[in-house]
Amino acid sequence: MSSVDTSTADTGFTIECTGLRVATTGGREVLHGVDYAVAPGEILALVGESGSGKTTAALAALGHFRTGLGYTGGTIAFHGHTESHTDLLALPAATLRGVRGRLVSYVPQDPALSLNPLLRIGTQVREVLEAHGYEGDPAERVREVLGDVGLPTDEAYLHRYPHQLSGGQQQRVGIAAAFANRPDVVVLDEPTTGLDVTTQDLVLDTVRDLVTRSRTAALYITHDLAVVAGLADRVAVMQAGEVVETGSVRQVLTAPEHPYTRGLIAAVPDLDRVVEREPSPTGEGDPLLRVTGAGKRYGPKTVLDGVDMELWPGECLMLLGESGSGKTTLARGLSGLLDLDSGTLSLKGDQLSTPRSYAQLRSVQYVFQSPFASLNPRRTIASSLDVPLRHLTNLDADARRARVLDMLDQVQLDGSFAGRYPGALSGGERQRAAIARALVTAPDVLVCDEVTSALDVSVQASILDLLALVRSELGTAMLFVTHNIALARGVADRIAVLQGGQIVEQGTVEEVLTNPQHDYTRELLEHTPSMAAVR
């Protein structure tokens, strides 16, 4: 196959997107002439809220458009080891298949999308090399690239299956596969979303090191500006299918020119930002919820080991910990979603029974990380909110309908949402509906399990504002389960830090953030992304 010499010396960029237009099959344009360019060894962060078009614009660098979308204009010039044409969008399908994974590669948000659960990890990385005719020793390259991402390279590790790895290890295998053929361009689609802060920091360091050493041009899709501050070289901000601001990270994050950019920055949670809130009556009187000696084992593994915890009326307690710390197990145990092996739980001084009474179920409600775990996709929002009312209260149909509409209003969704299905709502709207479903029985305690982890910063901010409103107006106590300590000042009164199934530190937000006593807490704070880390 012929090639042409179009080295990066011609433009200084490895890949250049010019005037990219994309429309739905129905003719509605979703990208309106997008421009971006990435140089060798550079990381360009493409940021924006859900629906801004950032993923569509980035996937175009792979010549890929999701079902229902089509390319209608513009070029993507590739100045690396090119094939017969420098415009990626003009390449024949067969040629493009040879380019993907070899010259231009991709790291998805969820490693489950890039790893085959039936194949050992060594085999999976080797397949990427063999599929593109790697000329060296594939076995040697597999070990080399796994070592590059900080993973073991012994035979025992290569023979592991994805389910035998942690989430962070799975993501690093995906990154290794993407860099295996030494591509000129790599597209990373929010690869740290859902990871705890220490794992995220490790993955980001891995990406930065690989890009710098290999001189790869990296396009990093994200909504997390705190990550951008410490990782990227330049940033392009997208809104409604257009790039509204482009510049160096320092320029855009410290002196933003566009109102949309300023709004995104203002919504970023910051450990140093003071949030004015009414203090809760923590420690006054008897606790609303008390957990004593909570324990849980799965086979030989101890997940919870003698946890003691208290929650006062109207208080928000942040339960903080990394993946595997036991925080979700504890949250589900006190919600009655699973049985603990040991310990006692009491609400308002009365021990919670097993199984729980209707009154006890009504008093402690749970909001899942994904709203689809709370909302049946085949039911309207009103129908989903009606279910707990039918099962846990004695309200008649008219009273239930009135309660549903009132609850939707409480979470700032108007009555038109009652007849909609979850799939017709945005991510933030679905999470509001899920919170409404949990609140519809007027619980004493609301357990929120990573409810903002996959949301844009502006949507996250609106959900946190909503939860603060719920606490102030309804007096609901809240257990906020998260791995993101940066949210502390905006949501919590106290923090309980969980490590290895044990609470290693507890205190007010100010005590824990300004004077952490445990090494693990200090490590979490050290690895938390900050806007102050502008490159």
Over residues 24-69, the pLDDT tens digits come to: 999 999 999 999 999 999 999 999 988 889 999 999 999 999 889 9
Q: Model confidence over 195-206: pLDDT tens digits?
A: 788 888 888 999
With H, G, I as helix, E, B as strand and everything else as coil, classify residue 242: strand
Q: Kindly report which listed range (105-109, 271-275, 308-312) carries the lowest average pLDDT score.
A: 271-275
DSSP β-bridge partners for residue 499 = 502
Q: Which CATH superfamily includes the segment(s) 289-527?
A: P-loop containing nucleotide triphosphate hydrolases (3.40.50.300)
Mean per-residue pLDDT over the chain, rounded:
89
DSSP β-bridge partners for residue 242 = 239
From residue 238, give the alpha-carbon distance in Å to each of 26, 193, 243, 264, 369: 23, 19, 4, 11, 26
Q: Is 157 or 474 the better-scoring residue by pLDDT?
A: 157
Query: Whole-angstrom Cα distance, residue 244 to residue 117?
Result: 40
**For the chain, what is the largest distance between any 2 Cα atoms, rounded to a whole number of angstroms?**
80
Phi, psi angle pair for 385, to nearest 5°: -70, -25
Who's near 509: CB < 8 A, 6+ residues apart? 318, 488, 489, 492, 493, 494, 495
Angle of CA points 194, 200, 204, to nearest 5°: 130
**Quick one: pLDDT band at residue 7, thresholds 50, 70, 90?**
very low
Q: Model confidence over 251-303: pLDDT tens digits?
A: 999 999 999 999 999 888 877 766 665 657 566 678 999 999 999 999 999 99
* Residue whose token pair is 């009556």: 281
**Quick one: pLDDT band at residue 398, thresholds 50, 70, 90?**
very high
Reported pTM? 0.82
Please report the pLDDT score of residue 278 as a whole number. Answer: 62
Structure token digits, residue 13:
């960029």
Cβ–Cβ under 8 Å, residues 223 and 109: no
Cβ–Cβ under 8 Å, residues 432 and 412: yes
Could you give the angle at which helices 167-179 and 138-148 cross, rounded to 10 degrees?
130
Residue 405 has pLDDT above 90, yes or no: yes
Who's near 481: CB < 8 A, 6+ residues apart? 319, 327, 328, 331, 447, 448, 449, 450
Cβ–Cβ under 8 Å, residues 269 and 230: no
Give the DSSP H/E element, type plus range, for residue 396.
none
Residue 464 identity: L
Query: Could you state, in order of their start, the residue ranges of all structural domains in the chain?
Result: 8-117+183-266, 289-527
With H, G, I as helix, E, B as strand and everything else as coil, classify residue 6: coil
Q: How many residues does the chain have?
A: 535
Phi, psi angle pair for 34, to nearest 5°: -85, 135
Residue 332 identity: R
The fraction of the chain above a pLDDT of 90, given in percent, is 66
* Residue whose token pair is 């942690």: 166
Structure token digits, residue 454:
């996959």
Query: Whole-angstrom Cα distance, residue 436 to residue 257?
Result: 37
Residue 171 has pLDDT above 50, yes or no: yes
DSSP β-bridge partners for residue 186 = 105, 218
Q: Model confidence over 420-437: pLDDT tens digits?
A: 999 888 888 999 999 999
Peptide bond into 191 cis (omega under 30): no
SS (H, E, C) 67-96: CCEEEEEEEEEECCCCCCCCEHHHCCHHHH
DSSP string, 35-65: EEEE-TT-EEEEE--TTSSHHHHHHGGGT--
* Residue whose token pair is 């324990």: 295
SS (H, E, C) 244-261: EEEEEHHHHHHCCCCHHH
Residue 116 has pLDDT above 50, yes or no: yes
CATH topology identical between 8-117+183-266 and 289-527: yes
Query: Whole-angstrom Cα distance, residue 471 to residue 467?
Result: 6
DSSP β-bridge partners for residue 445 = 364, 477
With H, G, I as helix, E, B as strand and everything else as coil, classify residue 318: strand
With H, G, I as helix, E, B as strand and everything else as coil, classify residue 111: helix
**Quick one: pLDDT band at residue 220, thresholds 50, 70, 90?**
very high
Query: Whole-angstrom Cα distance, residue 173 to residue 175?
Result: 5
Query: Whole-angstrom Cα distance, residue 102 to residue 136?
Result: 14
* Residue whose token pair is 């300004």: 514
Q: Kindly report which listed range (163-167, 249-253, 438-442) carries the lowest average pLDDT score.
A: 163-167
With H, G, I as helix, E, B as strand and everything else as coil, classify residue 169: helix
Domain 8-117+183-266 -> CATH class: alpha beta
